[in-house]
Structure 1
Amino acid sequence: MSRCNFSNDFDDLGSTPVSNFFINHYMLEAPGEYVKVYLLGLKYSYYNQSFSIEEMAEKLFMSEIDIDKALKFWEKSGVIRLRYSDSEYYIEYLPLVKKVDDKHTLSIDDTEVRQMFETVEKMIGRPLSPTEMNTYLGWVDEYGFSLEILTMLISYCASKNKTSLKYMEKVAIAWHDAGLKTALDVEAYLKAESEKWIRYKKILRALGLKDDDVMEAHKAMMDRWMDDLGFDIDVILKACNECVLKINEPSFPYINQILINWYNDGIRTINDFDKVKKKPYTKKTAPNYKVPKNYFNGYSQRTYDVDELEKKLLAHSRGEFGE
């Protein structure tokens, strides 16, 4: 144990052993200033020296409040134990062992789990932290994933260079909601997602937009064009071209209205245009709409007059914002 009263007689030529496990699994997630506190405290502890918070703060150019926060951070991380007596800290540096929350169905001691984590570490090019291991095993319980599915999920995210827990959690939720239970389910799902993104990109290119410009609402609208209304991608691209030529800017609401009108005219494919002797911008009234019942879920229920919408968008593009 180390008592927090400072002593200044250290051997500058000595060395302090730092566990590789601390470097690989704790240091990488910790704030840099907190790592300095841990290492300096470890040196004091190794040489059985006492120190004061004030002197430690002075040495590290930190405030005493920040030193206190750092020590409590490491206590919460499970690498030190703090006790208080007569306004003094007593600090014990604990042995570092690979621990994973025992509340999970699977344990880090399971051979298959260890092998999976070793595979994952090779995928992402770094050791996993205890937090990451706990989170992954939590997904096994929460989402019913097998270790195979979990490995495929992490591999998928790593292929996109997105290995933060926050991003992978979103993917895990999406896979759970999609009901993916087997490797074949995942392969089919990823194939469908890849094909969908190819169509997204074609639409975005037609509108002069980049992949980063698309929002979730845009993707949901494009999905409805393809899935609910059943339009071929060529028809959607034709609507995009109509939009850009007519109002000289990309507008998803405008394209949406064009497609609704075409839907009501019985148009689904490019070949349908030859069969329909009607201009696509013919004004429709609300009673004639035959759009699928659930198409407007998540959208306003109002209908648009294409001509009026066109006037407003053109005025907007010219900077005319008056009523």
Structure 2
Amino acid sequence: MDQVLLCSSQIPLTTSISNTFIKKYMLNANGSYVKVYLYLSMCIQSDIHGLSISSLADRMENTEKDVLRALQYWEKKNLLTLQYNESNDDICGILLLNPETADQTISVTASDETPSNEISFDEPSSYTKPVSMPEDFQANTLSALKADTYTTSVDQTDSLSSMETATTEAVARKDEDAQPLPVDDTETKEIVITQEQTERVAKDDDFSWTRLIVESYLDRPITTKEADLLIYLFDTLHFSKDLILYLYEYCCSIHKTNINYVQAVAFSWDKNNVKTPDDAQELSHQYNECHSAICKALGLNRMLGSIESQYIDRWQNEWQMDLAVILNACNRTILTIQKPDFKYLNGILENWHKHNVHTLQDVQVCDDNYNKKKANNTRDNKPAIQKSNNRNQFHAFEQRNTSAAEIDQLEKMLLKR
């Protein structure tokens, strides 16, 4: 991670925090967000150098996404401003603002002169611009749900922040090169939402907060269809808040936020009885492990296509075959035709499926039965083969049956000449 340069014109022994911050902002903020703000204030006022997002995350014992989310939160409160590189939208500076004038509109661009209380980056960061929550999210939510009022308590805020942290850490544990889950995002299913469901979730604070966070992940207000999908997941499939947030954070992490893909992933999780983010992570881990093993067995150095993923999904979920059985079929495919052919591979597994093969022991039994049958057929056909081999093109006509007396007579006639 690129180093963060901290600038200040004084180096006090203590850190000064505005009473306005304590009274107006700190009490209603999540504790981890407050820690980030206080530590940044200390670094600015103590002229500490060599700071980075990753080092902040280490000191806070949080993920880097949590630190970025905290910075976004204080930016929304107008207590700091994040500056982004115009070419790639990477963070290039952090400007701490005066809490006394936080309600005033502040505009800072990358070309402005760097103030004394600004954290700047020497080089563009490798982090992409984090999502931010627009000011009119609450209004959009109430309008879409046709609700008259919307309230929340400090306890709900803390609970939500903890939930965000849990899902963020779960996504952060995934492999960087993880492949998308085996879903067909071109296949859609009509979702029917009743007016009763809409009115019921409009009164549910958990749903309203979940919707706000989903919009923050997408960095935009959700559409009507996306709102219907969210209601369907919450009220029909009974997905928990944690699972819905994990679903959208997962889709955002692989840059697949199309409603058809999100819906397909959700239905796949419901089909596989996924109830918690841990269940979803385990399903994703099994999927990636299976695909990686099959690609290695076939000698493929690429992601599998949609139709290839459907083949694997059929072998594992519909035919209930162990991964070892599939890898055995992969080896036989390569040894027989010397190329990775999913149609040929599917032919082998389809034949095994007809013989009720699920494990390597079943494969061995199937091979033994085939060898016995082949040996019996060879033994039964051996006499016929030998008889056929005794006849050639010189025995294609009927042979003479000449007696010994006739042969002697022919010899006497030959000698008299």
Instruction: Return the index of the structure with the highest Cα Rg.
Output: 2
One fold, TM greater than 0.5?
no
Which TM-score band (shorter chain)? Answer: 0.3 to 0.5
TM-score (norm: length of structure 2):
0.35
